[in-house]
Amino acid sequence: MADYSLEQVPGGWDEAARFYDQHVASFTAKFARDAMDLVGVGPGLRVIDVAAGSGALAMAAAQRGAEVLATDFSRGMADLLEAKAIALGLTNLAVEVMDGQALTVPAASFDRAFSVLGLMFFPDRKKGFSELARVLVPGGKAAVVAWSKPERMRVLGAFQNALWKALPDLALPLRPPPWLPLSEVEAFKKEMLEGGFGHVRSHTVSHVLVFEDPRTAFEWVTGATPALNVMVNKLEAGDLTALRNAFVEDVEAAQGAGPYGFEAEAHIAIGHK
């Protein structure tokens, strides 16, 4: 069996879906809005959102009047998104479980294609990029968002520092994230070009994640991805307390009184079919 991380298998996100939607999606939605603004989304456009998660982009695109298909390989994420779409009365948003590396939709079906912090986890990113290109009409545009270097995700850096401080015996270097190659802009553009796009441009954007309490920030970072959630849940109670305390102490020492802000940087690659 391939050595995939929890972020690369459906079950990892099935378990994380509700936490992600309640605590993470409102922040990643900021990058989704950037991506939509960069390629333009509005009435009459056919949009596909690949690895849509709990639907930050898909719902916003539908609210802008586009006809949207949201896909995700996680049944938990898809079910959650479908329930939200029904509750909001978004009849122009359809949700289907699909592998973004092998989309079961015809070629040249969409005017815009997106993957916000999703395709970056694919075991075969080349297939992911080529599928986005395949389903676009000639002249269509795709926007793919991926995190920049891990150290530009400040809350993750704060967690890593606390881990080294509180639990040095456990603080082996974290497994390199699957998206690491995309943190280099030229490599990101090259992969998208090799996927079948005729022209690619990129933008680097950042937003600030804000918390009133550093303890809330700790819960956020340890619940935001399946891998970190599993790691933290395996800790003994005393070790978890020590790690949390180290994180809180470091954040308060660095930022003083709240609110507490953590900048996160991402690259948005825009591909033209």
Q: What mean pLDDT, rounded, does the chain reach?
A: 91
pLDDT tier at 12, thresholds 50, 70, 90 = low
Choice between 57 and 224, residue whose per-residue pLDDT is larger: 57
Calculate ∠ Cα 168-233-249, nearest 5°. Answer: 50
DSSP lists the bridge partners of residue 69 as 48, 94
| Res 14: pLDDT | 67
pLDDT tier at 1, thresholds 50, 70, 90 = very low
| Per-residue model confidence as pLDDT tens digits over 211-244 | 999 999 998 888 777 777 778 878 899 999 999 9
Residue 205 φ then ψ, to 5° = -130, 155
- Region 190-215: mean pLDDT is 96
pLDDT above 90 covers what percent of the chain?
74
| Res 207: pLDDT | 97
- Region 195-210: mean pLDDT is 96
| Res 7: pLDDT | 62
Neighbour tally for 79: CB within 10 Å: 15
- Region 29-50: mean pLDDT is 97
| DSSP alpha helix (H) spans, the chain | 10-19, 25-39, 56-63, 75-88, 125-135, 154-166, 185-194, 214-223, 226-233, 237-255
pLDDT tier at 5, thresholds 50, 70, 90 = low
Ranking 23-27, 139-143, 160-164, 223-227 by mean pLDDT, the lowest is 223-227
Q: How far apart are CA 84 and CA 64, in angstroms?
A: 16
| Per-residue model confidence as pLDDT tens digits over 102-146 | 999 999 999 999 999 999 999 999 999 999 999 999 999 999 999
Q: How far apart are CA 141 and CA 137, in angstroms?
A: 9
Q: How many CA atoms lie within 13 A of 121 on its CB side?
A: 25
Pick among 3.10.450.50, 1.10.287.10, 3.40.50.150, 3.40.50.300: CATH of 6-272: 3.40.50.150
pLDDT tier at 9, thresholds 50, 70, 90 = low
